[in-house]
Structure 1
């Protein structure tokens, strides 16, 4: 991408990214199955959360390493805003992961060590271009996941513990907000279609493998991994997720793809407006009312 085109595109992102200081509450009585109706989904999300304190700093370092090669000041500002958002993500996930540890999961320490070592290997072996390709691949995948989670929010998070649902949905609203930045930086510094697709495949396969290892270990500790009904529920859940996710992932592989082609979900924009009105409310969503077109907070507008 020419530098002037990258700058013009990035200027759109600069007006829409907000680094938010969030507060999420996790009741002492909350179990690892924060969605009692969907314990398997709870553990998929928990496993993904375990990766965030290692993945997000890797993304930040990769993007910052490219900063001196960026000639457009607007794109540099977008990169800085991206870093600010990602830094808040991994700190919040670290806090949540400590909550999971406090609930007695013995496997978490080993999972975290393996994830940490995995990202250290990727970073050490990768060139700047390869690390930027991974970052762009992850962000493209995260955009697709964010769309899917918001579209299917009532099924996936309905009736769940508010703090965890609010954490996950906040994270992915911000993934949607900064959807252009990693793409712009990659195109500006190392743009190449085949390298981009390679990054998508690498990041997607890597994250999915880490997540599967994690939820398998967590479900084993729960005694659910070999439970027939739980395994059927898990299989149906994964089939539902991938049926909704696959078209969004496949579009990334098309030549000429840009995250700007993806329209922001209206619910994500409504969440941002809720935060502007009441930042605390955005961290305590009423999960009994996720079918509404706009997010509703607990104790707001007639919530419980």
Structure 2
């Protein structure tokens, strides 16, 4: 049976800095990609999923901390926890802004919250061995999801179509700041999984559960956002053809490339350092208006 290869020694100088960014959403239009409500709301699904999802990441990794025996990895996990907590709050602010514009995201968010807290949350009454197994299994889910967030982060850093479409600059900075940090810490969840369980089967199981779940949630989220949009009044429904056409224009990620990326995760020798560019991510973080303002405070 194939086994995961040990994490390469590429993180010796990795220091994950939780950048306490702030964004001003007062001028954000409802359709922040002008005249592109479908692309706007497909990306807006991030704001629906990430606050609850990343808070769940933080809880899972806090539960995993006592199991870590490598000091360097522990420091990376602590940095990861700090970054993810800030990500959750940044996207929560967008949800609050949408509510003020007449688009109520709360019905869908309640469903997402139920999934992460009740279905994927910590279960009471477990023995110590069962609890450890539960934590490692959820780390595997996080590692698989982080593969997708790194893919999306890499796309956001390389998406000139959004600039050509004159997307709102504050939202672009949020997406690219967050995307850059996802690329920056793309290996942490995977390395933690390998540290706790170097076997191949759990990694595969994590992707087989998380991949279809994310696709389902994203499709439902896009449908919800378009139906709840007070301007559209339910006149537009998302289609796979819309997704393909918007991807060709650079407004959305290419689903074919996303599928190929998911397949790479199943390679026995896979490691997240094979995805994206740390230097590009750090380069953007050095120029991001929000990250620069956070560093100056």
TM-score, structure 2 length as denominator? 0.82
Counterparts in 2 of 1:193 and 1:7: CA distance versus 1, 3 Å: closer
TM superposition shift of 1:118:
0.6
Please say if 1:47 is aligned against 2:53. no
- Does residue 174 (structure 1) correspond to residue 181 (structure 2)? The answer is yes
CA–CA distance in structure 2, aligned partners of residues 276 and 163 of structure 1: 9
1:114 to 105, 111, 114: 111
Q: Is the 8 A contact 2:177 2:285 kept in 1?
A: no
| 1:19 alignment partner in structure 2 | 18
TM-aligned CA deviation for residue 85 of structure 1: 0.5
Q: State the secondary structure of the residue aligned to 1:123.
A: coil
User: Which is worse superposed, 194-203 or 131-140?
Assistant: 194-203
CA-CA distance at 1:193 after TM superposition: 1.2
Give the counterpart of 2:142 among 135, 141, 147.
135
Shift of 1:76: 0.7
1:297 matched residue in structure 2:
none
Match of 1:245 among 258, 273, 283: 258
2:273 is matched with: 260
C-alpha distance 227-62 of structure 1, shift in aligned 2 (>3 A): closer
Residues in 1 aligned to 2:143 and 2:218: alpha-carbon distance in whole angstroms: 19
How much does 1:141 deviate? 1.4
CA distance in 2 between partners of 1:104 and 1:275 (Å): 30
- What per-residue deviation string (whole Å, max 9, x for no partner) do you get for residues 103-150 of structure 1? 1113x1110110000111112468112101001111111112222222
TM-score by length of 1: 0.80
Deviations 1:72-97 (A, max 9, x none): 11111111110110011001111111
- Whether 1:271 aligns to 2:280 is no
Across the aligned residues of Structure 1 and Structure 2, the Cα RMSD in angstroms comes to 2.8
Distance 1:199 1:229 in 2: 28
CA gap of 1:85–1:176, structure 2 versus 1, over 3 A, is same
- Offset at 1:263? 4.6
CA distance 1:255–1:231, change in 2 (3 Å): closer
- Displacement after TM superposition at 1:204 (Å): 2.3
Give the alignment partner of residue 203 of structure 1, picking from 202, 210, 230. 210
Match of 2:70 in 1: 72
| Structure 1: segments with no counterpart, 5+ residues | 283-304
Distance 1:181-1:36 versus aligned 2 partners, 3 A rule: same
Task: Kindly indicate whether the alpha-carbon contact (under 8 Å) linking 1:19 and 1:84 is maintained by their aligned counterparts in 2.
Answer: yes
Q: Give runs of aligned pairs for residues 80-95 of structure 1, distance below 5 A.
A: 80-95=78-93
Mapped contact 1:224–1:230 kept (Cα < 8 A): no
- Unmatched segments (≥5 aa) in structure 2: 1-5, 124-132
Q: After superposition, what is the alpha-carbon deviation per residue over 1:161-199, rounded to whole angstroms, capped at 9, x for unaligned? A: 111111111111000111111111111112321211221
1:157–1:134 distance in 2 versus 1, CA, 3 Å: farther
User: Which residue is 1:233 aligned to?
Assistant: 242
58, 61, 70: which one pairs with 1:60?
Answer: 58
Matching residue of 1:150: 157
